[in-house]
A and B are shown apart, each in its own frame.
Chain A
Amino acid sequence: MLLRTRGISINIEEPVVGRITRNAGYTGDNSILICENGLPSSRIEKFACVLTNQESTDWQGDHPVVFKVPSFEHLNEGDLVVVSQDGNIKTLYRINSFHNTLLATERCNSNCLMCSQPPRDRNDTHRLYGIYEKMIPMIPKDCFELMISGGEPTLMGELFFQLLQLIKDQLPETEVHVLTNGRSFAWNNLAEKLSDLEYNRLMLGIPVYADYYQMHDYIVQAKDAFNQTILGIHNLARYDQRIEIRVVLHQQSIPRLTRLSRYIYKNMPFVEHITFMGLEYIGYTPYNIDKLWIDPHDYMDELGEAVEFLSGQGMNVSIYNSQLCVLPEALWKYAKKSISDWKQSYLPECERCNKLSDCGGLFTWNLKKHSEHIRPFA
């Protein structure tokens, strides 16, 4: 799935955020027109920007246009994009998807061995916030769910709270799922500040990878991260914030996994959801694969015990990023089709499988690295 394309920009002085249309007669605000057969002779000024596959050779206008865009296939009527000065056209929101994510910042105070989206140390928060400030009011009000991820979103500082307030005001019916390492909430005032938003559609997804600080800190490559995260969760619970715990399954997290499940139940029984997630083969993971890889088939005992213990105590548990043929049947009821549409794939042999429609499949990038035990059900 393509989420980015690029052409040659003219007259773009600041990023243009708008809604894609192919209808030259469209009259809404903030529209970005796609013209595949040459620029229209009139009404071009009604659009915030025009995108075309044509050459720019003889064009003389003073309106923002991007020429020579190689493909528009991935853009649907109503999608939201940002067009930058350099001609990049980035999809921000896809109208036909339930999996829309705002990247809050690329900065992070952790550096997880298996990070799927390695952080970058540059201050991008103001630039990104500027884009989202324009984009969020354009999102359809019936948007079911928005994910906010990073990097570490809370590193936006004050803007993090402003962003949530904006979403709450503009999209009161939308579920908001923030992926954060929770460390910032070790400072109680930030947990309190979050609760001041009185945002009951907000859920924080927070990773905990071990019950023992040293192992967790090693996995996230950050000293004191474990204690900060646990304190953060504790503070958030103090203010009745909704919390999800996310556990990524790999060679380092498996040995203490059943202990972790008991730790969660005993110390954080208030969390709303716990999810155990298969490893993504992207970002840092290929680099650290020797430290991380364990065939999922080989951790099913530990996973089964952890999941069934928590579920047995009445907690809400899921398994993400796992294929049905690798899971024992007793665990199928916990398996969710969790992989976002644009990054989900199947192996060639999966075509023959009669459980395909119930199976979450693989991350596209995991086609290169997956369990040796994937077998189609016949």
Chain B
Amino acid sequence: MAEADVITKNRKFKELGFYDNQENNVYFLLPMRFARLNQEKEVLVNEVGDHLVVREGTFQKIVQRELNKEDDPDLFGDLVANHFISESRIPPLIDVLATRYRTKKAFLNNFTMLHIFVMSLRCEHTCHYCQVSRVTQDKDKFDMSRDHIDKGIDMMLQSPSPHVTMEFQGGEALLAFDNIKYAVERVHLLAGLRNKSVTFVICTNLALVNEEILLYCKEHEILISSSLDGPAFIHNSNRTRPGRNSYELAIKGIELSKRILGPSRVSALMTTTNLSLDYPIEIVEEYYKQGFRNMFLRPISPYGFAVRNERKNKYETDRFLEFYKKALGRILEYNLAGEFFTEDYATIILRKMLTPFPVGYVDLNSPTGCITNVIAFNYDGSIFASDESRMLAEMKDFTFQLGHLDTHSYEEVFYSKRALEIVSTGINESLPGCSDCAFQPYCGADPIQNHATQGDMYGYRPTSSFCQKNMEIIRYLIELMDKDKAIAKIFESWVKSRS
């Protein structure tokens, strides 16, 4: 540093105003969007997802250059500090903003991580909302062959990601447990040569689980992802099987799994059905009772409904939102009473909102998580852009089939014209109705759902149930935090990274 910079002849203290860098009340806008929260408040969101709740009308004031540092020093300071406006055309800390943007999108860095292997389409359940499963003994027709398992593993190990997840799905995956063992052992053999670490997950209803299976899971560090839809009367009604004992088997299986593997290696997913929608409190309390301290209030899947009926979709989404809020309210009550109990969907969105870190969740990524984050190998060797796309295929819609393990190379699958088309429609930064949406950084894009419900991959936001649902959940979460500091604190505790 030059001598002149260092030698300050005059060390007389100066007033705050002296340090004002603004010239002639000019300020520049940085990329930001806004949305109305309620009648009094609106929320501003910048390009990296920082948000600021302000009085209604503030955004207009800002863009019309009516904001004045003297009249509103705190707001002005907040806007400059949080990268919403700048006093110079290029903000002095633009490098920091760039780093933060890069960090937020870092979930893209390693490309596809989750590899779904549909081990068998067979199932001993006959759940009414499931389009894919078959009750049959025909292993040859409905189980993934060892040849396809080998080819799927080869393709998985070509992923650029140093860490991949191999998820065994069904049908009921445990009906093909011998093949699971075969796959796990083959991966053990090959993953080291490729310098890959692999996480194994078995998705199962646990009806068939036993000690022997679980000891194998323990030995090979396999995670269990099971299902629990709520109390017995809901679970058994959703998940039909001979004997109407799905709930009892699930609870027994969850307990046994937790005992053998440890509670942190066993999770449960909830499928929301029409029946569930009337029992939000009971479902939450069931999870609590079973010892879970997190649950995933999964948005109702559109694939089971009359998918192209706009009015019905809107109605279903309204009902789901009502259900979601009630259930979340019950979860928050546990927290307010001193328990730590999280809801996963809110946590994903809150991580995007409250942390500077990347959040990779297939259904809320932009670019879309299908292909870039997940790929599905179906029981018959066909390759799909996601788990949902193979379900569409069961309804004879093969739009999202990217190839077949017998005929297509890694490059032909991931760099295909079809893959490019799907992913490029899944970028909410450039989708009509999303590009100017305040919640864009918190949301994602789902070309598959758009296609299934609206007939094209781009979708049409005003009648999109994906949009309706996410807009309202995001708005609601912000409103909750703004209205109640105790809830804001709870949400902050949910987003902490736990490694």
Question: Chain A 306-337, CB within 8 Å of chain B: the 1/0 string?
Answer: 00010011100000000000000000000000
Q: How many A-B residue pairs have CB under 8 A?
A: 95
Residue of A111, A224, A230 near B8 (CB, 8 A) is: A111
Contacting residues, chain A, for B20 (C-beta < 8 A): 214
Say yes or no for A275: interface residue by CB 8 A criterion: no
Say yes or no for B242: interface residue by CB 8 A criterion: no
Known: A214-B77, A266-B355, A267-B356; 8 extra A-B contacts, CB below 8 A, are: A111-B11, A154-B1, A213-B21, A215-B16, A231-B95, A263-B82, A309-B492, A314-B496
Contacting residues, chain B, for A211 (C-beta < 8 A): 77, 81-82
Contacting residues, chain A, for B496 (C-beta < 8 A): 312-314
Q: A107-B6, A109-B5, A184-B1 are in contact. Are A214 and B21 (CB under 8 A)?
A: yes
Say yes or no for B14: interface residue by CB 8 A criterion: yes
Within 8 A of B (CB), among A201-221: 211-215, 217-218, 221
Say yes or no for A155: interface residue by CB 8 A criterion: yes
Contacting residues, chain B, for A265 (C-beta < 8 A): 355-356
Contacting residues, chain B, for A267 (C-beta < 8 A): 96, 100, 356
Say yes or no for A75: interface residue by CB 8 A criterion: no
Residues in chain A within 8 A of chain B (CB atoms): 107, 109, 111, 113, 118-119, 121, 154-155, 157, 184, 211-215, 217-218, 221, 223-224, 227, 230-231, 234, 256, 259, 263, 265-267, 269, 288, 309, 312-314
**Assembly CA distance A215 to B99 (angstroms):** 24
Q: How far is the CB of B153 from chain A (nearest CB, A)?
A: 36
Contacting residues, chain A, for B19 (C-beta < 8 A): 213-214, 217-218, 223
Q: How far is the CB of A219 from chain B (nearest CB, A)?
A: 9
Contacting residues, chain B, for A259 (C-beta < 8 A): 78, 81
Interface CB pairs A-B, < 8 A, 9: A157-B1, A184-B1, A218-B15, A231-B96, A234-B93, A256-B77, A266-B356, A269-B355, A314-B496
Question: Chain B 55-96, CB within 8 Å of chain A: the 1/0 string?
Answer: 000000000000000000000011011100000000011011
Q: Which 3 A-B pairs have the closest CB atoms?
A: A212-B77, A217-B19, A227-B92
Say yes or no for B193: interface residue by CB 8 A criterion: no
Contacting residues, chain B, for A118 (C-beta < 8 A): 11
**Assembly CA distance A314 to B494 (angstroms):** 12
Q: How far is the CB of A87 from chain B (nearest CB, A)?
A: 29
Q: How far is the CB of A112 from chain B (nearest CB, A)?
A: 10
Q: How far is the CB of A31 from chain B (nearest CB, A)?
A: 37
Say yes or no for B28: interface residue by CB 8 A criterion: no
- Which single residue of chain A is at the shortest CB-CB distance from B485? A305
Q: How far is the CB of A81 from chain B (nearest CB, A)?
A: 29
Contacting residues, chain B, for A227 (C-beta < 8 A): 92-93
Say yes or no for B7: interface residue by CB 8 A criterion: yes
Residue of A266, A288, A314 near B13 (CB, 8 A) is: A288
**Assembly CA distance A224 to B92 (angstroms):** 9
Say yes or no for B311: interface residue by CB 8 A criterion: no
> Which of A154, A155, A218, A256 has the largest count of B CB atoms less than 10 A from its CB?
A218
**Assembly CA distance A157 to B92 (angstroms):** 24
Say yes or no for B493: interface residue by CB 8 A criterion: yes
Within 8 A of A (CB), among B126-177: none
Say yes or no for B476: interface residue by CB 8 A criterion: no
Contacting residues, chain B, for A263 (C-beta < 8 A): 81-82
**Assembly CA distance A213 to B73 (angstroms):** 12
- Which single residue of chain B is at the shortest CB-CB distance from A238? B99
- Which single residue of chain B is at the shortest CB-CB distance from A291? B13
- Which single residue of chain B is at the shortest CB-CB distance from A288? B13
Say yes or no for B50: interface residue by CB 8 A criterion: yes
Contacting residues, chain B, for A215 (C-beta < 8 A): 16, 77
**Assembly CA distance A215 to B17 (angstroms):** 10
Q: Are B21 and A234 in contact (CB under 8 A)?
A: no
Q: Are A234 and B95 in contact (CB under 8 A)?
A: yes
Q: A109-B5, A309-B492 are in contact. Are A234 and B96 (CB under 8 A)?
A: yes
Q: How far is the CB of A229 from chain B (nearest CB, A)?
A: 10
Question: Chain B 17-50, CB within 8 Å of chain A: the 1/0 string?
Answer: 0111100000000000000000000000000001
**Assembly CA distance A224 to B477 (angstroms):** 37
**Assembly CA distance A217 to B8 (angstroms):** 16
Q: How far is the CB of A342 from chain B (nearest CB, A)?
A: 27
**Assembly CA distance A267 to B477 (angstroms):** 23
Say yes or no for B357: interface residue by CB 8 A criterion: yes
Q: Are A269 and B21 in contact (CB under 8 A)?
A: no
**Assembly CA distance A259 to B77 (angstroms):** 10
**Assembly CA distance A113 to B9 (angstroms):** 17
Contacting residues, chain A, for B11 (C-beta < 8 A): 111, 118-119, 121, 221
Residue of A119, A157, A230 near B93 (CB, 8 A) is: A230
**Assembly CA distance A266 to B5 (angstroms):** 31
Q: Are B492 and A155 in contact (CB under 8 A)?
A: no
Residue of B6, B13, B99 near A109 (CB, 8 A) is: B6
Contacting residues, chain B, for A309 (C-beta < 8 A): 492
Q: A214-B21, A265-B356, A267-B356 are in contact. Are A221 and B81 (CB under 8 A)?
A: no
Contacting residues, chain B, for A111 (C-beta < 8 A): 8, 11, 13
Say yes or no for B497: interface residue by CB 8 A criterion: yes
Q: Are B356 and A218 in contact (CB under 8 A)?
A: no
Contacting residues, chain A, for B1 (C-beta < 8 A): 109, 154-155, 157, 184
**Assembly CA distance A269 to B96 (angstroms):** 12
Q: Are B13 and A113 in contact (CB under 8 A)?
A: yes
Residue of B9, B77, B95 near A121 (CB, 8 A) is: B9
> Which of A227, A288, A309 has the largest count of B CB atoms less than 10 A from its CB?
A227
Contacting residues, chain A, for B18 (C-beta < 8 A): 218
**Assembly CA distance A154 to B495 (angstroms):** 38
Residue of A119, A217, A234, A266 near B50 (CB, 8 A) is: A266
Q: How far is the CB of A221 from chain B (nearest CB, A)?
A: 6
**Assembly CA distance A223 to B14 (angstroms):** 11
Q: Are B13 and A212 in contact (CB under 8 A)?
A: no
**Assembly CA distance A227 to B100 (angstroms):** 16
Q: How far is the CB of A255 from chain B (nearest CB, A)?
A: 8
Contacting residues, chain A, for B16 (C-beta < 8 A): 214-215, 218
Contacting residues, chain A, for B93 (C-beta < 8 A): 227, 230-231, 234
Contacting residues, chain A, for B100 (C-beta < 8 A): 266-267
Contacting residues, chain A, for B6 (C-beta < 8 A): 107, 109, 121, 155
- Which single residue of chain B is at the shortest CB-CB distance from A235? B95
Residue of B5, B81, B99, B355 near A234 (CB, 8 A) is: B99
> Which of A111, A113, A214, A223 has the largest count of B CB atoms less than 10 A from its CB?
A214
**Assembly CA distance A90 to B93 (angstroms):** 43
- Which single residue of chain B is at the shortest CB-CB distance from A311? B496
Residue of A214, A224, A269, A288 near B356 (CB, 8 A) is: A269
Q: How far is the CB of B93 from chain A (nearest CB, A)?
A: 6
Contacting residues, chain A, for B99 (C-beta < 8 A): 234
Contacting residues, chain B, for A214 (C-beta < 8 A): 16, 19-21, 77
> Which of B11, B81, B492 has the largest count of A CB atoms less than 10 A from its CB?
B81
Q: How far is the CB of B173 from chain A (nearest CB, A)?
A: 35
Contacting residues, chain B, for A313 (C-beta < 8 A): 355, 492, 495-496
